[in-house]
Amino acid sequence: MGKEIWKAGNFVYPVPAVLVSCQDREGKKNLFTAAWTGTVCTNPPMAYISVRPERYSYRMIRETGAFVINLTTEAMARAVDFCGVKSGRDLDKWKETGLTAGTASVVEAPVVLESPVNVECAVTEVLELGSHHMFLALVKAIQVEDGLMDEKGRFCFEQAKPLAYSHGAYCGLTEAIGSFGYSIRKNSTKAKKKQKKSLRKRG
């Protein structure tokens, strides 16, 4: 199997398709879609988003130093796409998508109530990298949908059918193949059989 050599670019896929919510100092709220986001540190817990300076929400985040990363689901896909192609300068995205703005527990930014996970972030540093500026932030609080907790207290995010983005397309995530560390557990043979069975079902 051969390889083609492409010019340098962003091609780390899939990535989360999240809605970032924020507000200005007067309390005007907005939200936008972001794929350049992720975890950067465990202790202290930190995350980032990368935003073009010309985006409407950029000034809001610089003003307040706060934003919320709202994880999304397959059911939210149309709203996620809409918030990525329309600007808050021109219309009220909350009204147009039917999404509901809730109150963050710590930071000065709204949360999306329809999202199963809201990650409240406080900006610590802005790295002006080029086309995008990276907002590094401390995670100050996380809100999770209690209906996704099982009887053992485990958060079952897969039940929400999380949404991802891959090379121009929104994608659902397939069923879990294994949990962290399953490859070295004593029952790893059982897990491998389950994986093979799942692959056969998918053709």
- State pLDDT tens for residues 90-104: 999 999 999 999 999
Distance between CA 138 and CA 45 in Å, rounded? 6
Mention every residue, 6+ apart, whose C-beta is less than 8 A from residue 13.
165, 166, 167
Mean pLDDT of the chain: 91
pLDDT in tens, 140-168: 999 999 999 999 889 988 899 999 999 88
pLDDT in tens, 111-146: 999 999 999 999 999 999 999 999 999 999 999 999
Among residues 115, 104, 167, 178, the alpha carbon closest in space to that of 140 is found at 104
Q: What percentage of residues in the chain have a pLDDT greater than 90? A: 75
- Alpha carbon 172 to its chain centroid, in Å, reads 13
Instruction: Provide the whole-model pTM.
Output: 0.87
